Amino acid sequence: MAYDPGTSVADVLAGRVPVGATVTLRGWVRTRRDSKAGLSFIHLHDGSCFDPIQVVAPAALPNYEGELRHLTSGAAIVATGTLVQSQGKGQSVELQASGVEVVGPIADPEAYPIQPKPHSYEFLREVAHLRPRTNTFGAVTRVRNTLAQAVHRYFHERGFCWIHTPIITASDAEGAGAMFRVSTLDLANLPRRPDGHIDFAQDFFGKEAFLTVSGQLNVETYCLALSKVYTFGPTFRAENSNTTRHLAEFWMIEPEIAFADLAADADLAEDFLKSLFKAVLDERGDDMRFFEDRVEKGVIARLEKFATSAFTRLDYAEAVRILEKADRKFEFPVSFGTDLQTEHERYLTEVHCQGPVVVMNYPKEIKAFYMRQNDDGRTVAAMDVLAPGIGEIIGGSQREERLSVLEARMDELGLAREAYGWYLDLRRYGTVPHAGFGLGFERCVAYVTGMANIRDVIPFPRTPGNAAF
RNA sequence: UCCGGCAUAGCUCAGUCGGUAGAGCAAGCGGCUGUUAACCGCUCGGUCGCAGGUUCGAGUCCUGCUGCCGGAGCCA
């Protein structure tokens, strides 16, 4: 039998239910106001859209005195009635209730943490199981969902294949950051080899295993068979990072395209980001108006500008020249060969270009081994997409597809070729120029919503010292 | 990890020169009103983060610890 999704508040407020119709709405109480005219106004939300619907509960209802007049924020109710034009201001339609069932009352109203008032984000992180009931977190959640759907839609429509790269990796070839160990060994009684080292041969996988820090190396294998691929899944970094833009567990999107160079990679990044932001502007106008009013003035205009104007593209060397000529003192001096600091990225995006910037062709010394060496011998075909207010949102590169060049670079860096056997095979058998990038999904959500802290755009943030819930 | 800041009622905060605790909101009761961040009155609500120290006396000054927040580094 077909699933009946029922009627949502969004259906009603969007006009998909005619005035005069009888509807049943299910959700949670946001506020209740009483009128001695013999009725109560209950704002009901069900998460389907930003606005709640006003339910008018007449005092004549049998459970009015006993239950409805005592409803407080957070109680779960089922309201049935007639959809009518509102007699009051502030909403066009409302539900004239013929019955309101209290499904889940609030056990102790004084103890219920979510009050109809502004809360600090710090406090709401301590009640992360209840914060999705607030305006802000409802809006963030819907925007996050719209972005996720838009990611898959963008790639699907362009013939990309979604590759499910592993979460657990026993490959010691990642090198993108500190990793979380995965083990079933008894920590209190570790098996030892004769030389005293831990005997990982007795561990679950017969060798050391970790949570992935990136699906890139794995997804390259499918790229060199299916041409256009991407990953979208959780990744893990055990870095002791305590900032507003780092999480120990976050979601990353990593497309990889074959027969493509760095310029194509940058085109993809720009086109992709723009399509995501357009989707949010098209689908979540209600939530974006809230972010505009209460979170960050100007977010909507910023997104619109982002979605319609070309990204500035700069060579790293050119970026360095701009910074050297900048009419401003930096804490960290810039010169060719140094990595760009946060203050430099901010100057480029917020002052010099006043918009997103793609910085390309970095010195090879500050970039990963797999990035393709340019003909100048000192730079690699790497790019970062920098966004005003958030910094690096995308990092990508053309990959080194030439076996001898890749092996030489690995030797230079002291990386053991045996550990990368399957990765090097890709360069032995049918190698092609290919490129890709990684987009931190939460950074994207934070940028779109204007939320200042990445811990507030993921349901249950994991950071050093904190894995509650 | 480094630097800085903060910790007082369920929440957001005030608390002067060191003299034993305050407001708004929430919650409860009442009043008023087609209300909408409602309004008015009353009530309930505190081991001032923890442990020491100085002092006749510490929310206030000092030391240590813990937690949180911001910035930096690492990166997405």
DSSP of A369-418: TTBPBPTTSSEEEEEEEEETTTEEEEEEEEB---HHHHHHHHHHHT--GG
List of residues 6+ apart from A221 with CB closer than 8 A: A422, A426
* Number of helices followed by number of strands (H, E) in chain A: 12, 16
> What's the DSSP call for residue A368?
-
pLDDT computed for residue A333 by the predictor: 86
pLDDT computed for residue A171 by the predictor: 74
Tell me the CA distances in angstroms from A227 to A86, A259, A422, one per residue in order.
Answer: 56, 8, 18
Q: Which nucleotide is nearest to A244 (CA to C1')?
A: B70
Give chain A residues 447-466 with Cβ within 7 A of strand B.
Answer: 452-455, 464-466
Distance A125 CA to B63 C1' (A): 32
pLDDT in tens, A276-310: 999 999 999 999 999 998 899 889 999 998 999 89
Give chain A residues 159-188 with Cβ within 7 A of strand B.
Answer: 176-177
pLDDT in tens, A38-48: 889 999 999 99
Asked whether strand B has any atom less than 7 Å from the CB of A30, the reply is no
Nucleotides of B under 7 A from a protein CB: 1-2, 10-13, 25-29, 32-38, 67-76
Asked whether strand B has any atom less than 7 Å from the CB of A218, the reply is no
Distance A50 CA to B49 C1' (A): 37
pLDDT computed for residue A422 by the predictor: 93
Residue numbers of chain A with a pLDDT score lower than 50: none
Distance A35 CA to B40 C1' (A): 15
Amino acid whose CA is nearest the C1' of B71 = A243
pLDDT computed for residue A176 by the predictor: 62
ipTM of the shown complex: 0.89
Asked whether strand B has any atom less than 7 Å from the CB of A338, the reply is no
Asked whether strand B has any atom less than 7 Å from the CB of A350, the reply is no
pLDDT computed for residue A172 by the predictor: 60
Tokens 């209460």 map to which residue? A294
Distance A383 CA to B45 C1' (A): 57
pLDDT computed for residue A173 by the predictor: 55
Cα separation of A81 and A86, whole Å? 14
Give chain A residues 124-143 with Cβ within 7 A of strand B.
Answer: 125
Distance A89 CA to B62 C1' (A): 59
Give chain A residues 275-314 with Cβ within 7 A of strand B.
Answer: none
Give chain A residues 186-215 with Cβ within 7 A of strand B.
Answer: 214
HSE, side-chain direction, 13 A CA sphere, residue A209? 16
